[in-house]
Structure 1
Amino acid sequence: MDLYLRRRLVNAVALAAACAAAVLGLLFLGWILWTLVAKGLAGIDWALFTQDTPPPMAEGGLRNAFYGSAVMCLMAILIGTPLGIAAGTWLSEYGAAARIATVVRFVNDILLSAPSIVLGLFVYTLVVQQAGGSFSAVAGALSLAFIVLPVVVRTTDEMLQLVPVQMREAALSLGIPQWKVTVQVLYRSAMPGIVTGVLLALARISGETAPLLFTAFGNQYFTLDVTHPMASVPVVMYQFAGSPYTSWQDIAWAGALVLTLFVLLTSLVARAIVARKRVNHD
């Protein structure tokens, strides 16, 4: 009986500590979100989306930064997604029995957990310095693509492994080539999970600052040339939030709110895709 009471006491203490930690974390999260909404709403207006970043003590917006972030994120997705899907397909379908597959998965896990600033420095050394010291949106997209790549590789590999073996055997028994089985059978079954991984990677890179500081750098003006420095929302937030100018701080808070809403929307879409896949599967 004493042992039973001791176990119940330990369980009650552990449960209380876990609940207290969860409540504390939710309180801080709610505080952060409330501060973000309270300060960010004050800077949301039409000028935020139609005017470029202003000089000190002047009115302006984030049009050039929104465009730059959209372009670099889109380029990163276009670079990282095909390579990630191809690598994940090879790991799952062609190189599963090879020793090198274990090495590739290990390196991919390292890249997945690598600090983004390290990836930015790598692209800075490889692209910016080698290209004559020119910052550009292309270099920024490459640094973000290195963040997208391991996420897509891991997602594709796991989603294809979840496809039942019977589907492969049934398709191969009909005389269908392996590549056609992969494209027409396996991809169709795993596509919702792969798309979810791509959307989560997009949500992650949309808020990255450190890689862009070393690659895209920033630009106060609107530009369509991806071979030159280009503004981005995270970099502008980093620059404006620490400034002594109230107008810049308001723009930084508004940009943070818009970026948070975008990440939230992307995450909700990813969850909706997963939920729809489960419903269709059931």
Structure 2
Amino acid sequence: MSTPSSAATLLAPVSGRRRTTDLIMRGLLGLGTVIALIPLVLVIYYLFSRGLKGIGSGFFTTDPTGNFLGDPGGVKSAIIGTLEIVGLASVIAIPLGIGVALYLVEFGKKTVFAQIVRYLVDVMTGVPSIVFGLFVYITLVTTKFGGASFTGYKGSFALALLMLPVVTRSAEVVLGLVPEALREAALALGVPRWKVTLKIVLPTALPGLITGSLLAVARGMGETAPLLFTAATVNGTTYNLGQRMNSLPAQIYADISQPNNDIVNRAWAAALTLVVLILVITLIARVAARRSRVS
């Protein structure tokens, strides 16, 4: 039972020094936030100011013409190629990465094999993207096993290798945040371990899993080097992942160094399109996740 003196201490007003310190720290945190946002705002402003100049009537509906004089065309083939290549890479990397994370958190725990897998994932996280492109180039593009040609699905494999460690590490962190009491309560009722993971752990961690997957997708959509070594570039639109495919990063890389101002403006417009495309995909995924939780 608290004494009158202790109760009076708890109700004592905050000293002026503590109020001043709190005010100063809040101001420093706010100032740091503003400083961190300044480069982001400037990049977005510059991207919009340059990118909007290159968006014309046929920008989204025509393919690049390959002409250095006259109308350079649009980026239809690049948009479709990016969606197809990254879509296949996501189908490969996201389920596999979440599966690896489930093993590390739910089943492997502190086994030696789990520690080795975790170490290899950490190593893959720091590998430059061009290394994944070179690996797929050597194993699939230059050999008879892979048809000795540039194709869209080989670019998907390269991006999948790039996205896999990002998905795995983020999913491992999110799954580790699921309260252990939920697992223990379900197991105490006699529910099998696999059903606890499927019905309780995964739905609880779903928002975090989606966030981590979207980070991996955003990184994959912005990579250029792996696609230059695997999918190459092509002006015309193709829906066949077994052929050469164009992509927005490759189109930007090819256009930005050209002497024609119209082509350079197309590169900036393609960069703006890529950023907006990632934003739209993120919003759609979050809305779908929210509706699934409500239902």
TM-score by length of structure 1 reads 0.85
Instruction: Report the counterpart of residue 66 of structure 1 in structure 2.
Output: 79
Letter in structure 2 aligned against 1:177:
P
Map Cα deviations across residues 61-106 of structure 1 (whole Å, 9 max, x no partner): 0000000000001000001011111111000011112012112111
1:126-275 correspondence runs (5 A): 126-130=139-143, 131-266=146-281
Question: Paired residue for 2:69, among 57, 68, 91?
Answer: 57
1:80-99 correspondence runs (5 A): 80-99=93-112
Instruction: Report the counterpart of residue 44 of structure 2 in structure 1.
Output: 33
Letter in structure 1 aligned against 2:117:
V
Letter in structure 1 aligned against 2:215:
L
User: What do you get for the CA RMSD once the two structures are aligned?
Assistant: 2.8
Question: Are 1:159 and 1:194, in contact at CA under 8 Å, matched by a contact in 2?
Answer: yes
Q: Distance in 1 between matches of 2:124 and 2:82?
A: 22
Question: Are 2:210 and 2:286, in contact at CA under 8 Å, matched by a contact in 1?
Answer: no
Letter in structure 2 aligned against 1:184:
K
Superposition deviation, residue 28 in structure 1: 4.3
Instruction: Report the counterpart of residue 135 of structure 2 in structure 1.
Output: 122
Instruction: Report the counterpart of residue 6 of structure 1 in structure 2.
Output: none
| Matched residues, number | 268
SS of corresponding position for 2:132? helix
Greater Rg over alpha carbons, structure? 2
Question: Identity over aligned residues, as a percent?
Answer: 39
Superposition deviation, residue 47 in structure 1: 0.8
TM-score by length of structure 2 reads 0.81
Letter in structure 2 aligned against 1:216:
A
Question: Paired residue for 1:100, among 97, 113, 118?
Answer: 113
Q: Distance in 2 between matches of 1:124 and 1:109?
A: 23
Letter in structure 2 aligned against 1:50:
T
Letter in structure 1 aligned against 2:50:
K
Does structure 1 residue 44 correspond to structure 2 residue 59? no
Map Cα deviations across residues 16-55 of structure 1 (whole Å, 9 max, x no partner): 8x96x87666554444333221111111233111000122
1:24 to 1:92, Cα distance in 2 relative to 1, 3 A: closer
1:250 to 1:90, Cα distance in 2 relative to 1, 3 A: same
Superposition deviation, residue 268 in structure 1: 5.9
Instruction: Report the counterpart of residue 9 of structure 2 in structure 1.
Output: none
Question: Are 1:200 and 1:267, in contact at CA under 8 Å, matched by a contact in 2?
Answer: no
